[in-house]
Structure 1
Amino acid sequence: MLIGDVARHSGVSTRMLRHYDALGLVRPTGRTVGGYREYSAEDVRRIFHVESLRSLGLSLKQIGRALEDPAFTPSALVGDLIRWTEDRLEREQELLKRLRAVDASAPTGWQDVLRIVELMQGLNSASAARRQQTALTGPEGVSAPAELLAGAILSESDSNVAGALRWALARSGGDGTAALAAGMRSEDVDIRRRAVRAIAEMSDAPGATSVLTDALGDPDMTVRRHAALALGGRGVTAAVPTLVGMVVEGANDVDAAEVLGTLSQDPGSADRITTALVDELAAPTADSATRIRLIQALVELAGTTAREVLRQLTHDDDRTVALVASAFVGVLEERSLEGLDDDRDV
């Protein structure tokens, strides 16, 4: 088979076939009377072997060694190829992220592109101080794309810089929810924690409530707590069990109690929340400190049911619990009297 026929059947150009010949990689078995290369069926099979190995990323030199050395073992080389490919993909993903950030900024000229590149360099700086300054101020005349800020939040380990990035994202006017939602699916718990905190501060972002509701089922307790506080502030009662659990465990219990108080302004939720707290008060595992935290949460609740429970607790067998309940009942009654006096003045 002549070189032109081989090229048509194999898809390898005649120029590349000549290059293979020059390298000694695939030499035609014979020549015609006129000196043209003539390939045998075995030569064509070797061409396909070469192309198959090239598709794995092997260099022509590596392919020659693989085909000629009987002692050659592919395992080490394949391992190297995997690592090189992973590195290349990581670099290309970073490039793709940069290009998308530039595109999202809708540049009108190359000066706009250069400013966005400057912004990205600042956010990727090895200096935490520079990253924070970039998040707070950015290059002059540049509005940081929300997606870029969201990506920076997910990778930021410095708490001060992360706070500045969340502040910038919340005020960017863009929607970084999609990027942060992707972070919520990460196997890295630190990334999920960064994502949920950022979403919690994006009160008006479309889809934020749905992502936070899903986060209530996260295996990490910290993620669940951030989600519950944010959802409770939005009036989502699905957060109640987690918030009650926070009071019991003493984890951000003051914040959780305040949010439960806000949710109890809805008459339909007040009894449910009170019942959940009372059940925990009666739990055999509830020690004195836990019961006092639960009493403090009851004080925050609206409605008469919670106050009636507090009055009953003034006679609790645990003297410390009874004294705390009595003190709170006195404070609430004093407030009620002050409210009546204000009404009379009006």
Structure 2
Amino acid sequence: MSMALPSPAAPLQEACRRTSRRQGMMLGGMALLLLALMIGDLATGPSALPLQTLITALFAGPDGDDRMNAIILWQLRMPQTLLGAIVGGCLGLAGLKMQTILDNPLASPFTLGFSAAAGFGAALAILLGGLIAVPLYLLTPLAAFVMTLIACAMVYAVAMMRGAGPAILVLAGTAVMFFFQSLQALMQFLASPEVLQQIVFWLFGSLLKATWQGVAIAGGILAVALPWALCHAWQLTMLRLGEANAASLGLKVERLRRQSFIMVALLTAAAVSFVGTIGFIGLIAPHLARALVGEDHRLSLPLSALSGAVLLIAASLIGKVISPGGALPVGIVTAIAGVPVLFGLVLHQGRERVR
């Protein structure tokens, strides 16, 4: 009686199944963590809502019998929480795409000047809002997107002069960041005291002025960008093998880079134009995603978006706990928390090069 020998590929298949289960658990766990943080964010604020009251007002809807709690939840806190999750997702997704196409672990919309360009565009819209017959909630994201596209064009134009290498793109992005930060300072110098107050508060990066229009616009952009990115997941994963190797396998690197730059510009504008400049989310979230699921962009793209949303909602919750009477702007929280993380990344990269 002969016994069937186990297939040599069986251990490899079992290892792949275990890896897939672990990666699926990471995605599910991050989604559950985001849900828990969003519930905590909804329940926290100047007028605390007990969990039972929150659940009752949530299921009663915006026209519930308890008008005060309905207004607090559906007109004030819900837009802030949803927009925070959407903006974090936009920044996390944009950060991973930038780090991939530039092959630089320190690339992000903030460090390469895209956030500064979008910030300048939004500040310009605030300054000129009364002179243009366009609603401010539409003019602000439009101006931010246009300025971000201009920043992309400047970075790419500089890079094309010497060949579009990742190192040149990073250096050009740094120069663009300082340029648009200078223009932001000029806007503040020229603005009246009332407009200056709006611009400065907006540049802090805050969710307090979130609206349902902002949720709809930014959410629509993220809903388009994430599926587009997933359709190119294999190409982005291939690019992690190196530009030369990817090109030898048939990948059109320059076309993918141009398309990705435009998508990053759209995501950055969607994030910055509604809540202001928020740093480090687009830098930290991709590293967290890759640490959990590796370089497969089919998984790291959605996980990076989820990680960005988790980080931003956590910053919002921390800001409310630190300053219960008036929530500390999330941009300040992410900047303070992000600096030590940035130092850690720099030191880690230094150790990797030594090895």
Select the structure with the greater relative contact order (CA < 8 A; seq sep ≥ 6). Answer: 2
* Superposition TM-score, scaled by structure 1 size: 0.24
Q: Which structure has greater helix proportion? A: 2
* Superposition TM-score, scaled by structure 2 size: 0.24
